[in-house]
């Protein structure tokens, strides 16, 4: 998911918050799998971390514009 991805670019603040929550939940689940040595795709953690940062950045941009 890139910042130019329409999912992030065109989403509302509420949608972005829900997306962030879902990504964080998935990150938690993957961390649990990693701790129990059941993680199949370790690169997914890195991608999730970057996706969360992209979503949070967009949330900050929307809040700054609204203020």
Environment class of 51 (CB within 10 Å of its CB; exposed 0-12, middle 13-18, buried 19+): buried
Q: Read off the pLDDT of each residue in 7-19 and give the average, rounded to a whole number.
A: 93
Taking a C-beta distance cutoff of 8 angstroms, is the pair 58, 3 a contact? yes
Check residue 7 and give its pLDDT: 85
CA nearest 31: which of 45, 41, 19?
Answer: 45
Please write the tens of the pLDDT for every residue from 31-52.
Answer: 999 999 999 999 999 999 999 9
Check residue 5 and give its pLDDT: 78
Average pLDDT over all residues of the chain: 92
Of 58 and 3, the one with more pLDDT: 58
Domains and CATH numbers, the chain: 6-66 (1.10.287)
């Amino acid at each position: 998911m890139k910042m130019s991805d329409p999912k992030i670019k065109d989403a509302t603040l509420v949608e972005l918050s829900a997306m962030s929550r879902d990504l964080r939940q998935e990150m938690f689940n993957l961390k649990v799998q990693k701790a129990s040595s059941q993680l199949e795709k370790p690169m997914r953690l890195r991608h999730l971390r970057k996706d969360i940062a992209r979503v949070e950045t967009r949330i900050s941009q929307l809040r700054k514009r609204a203020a």
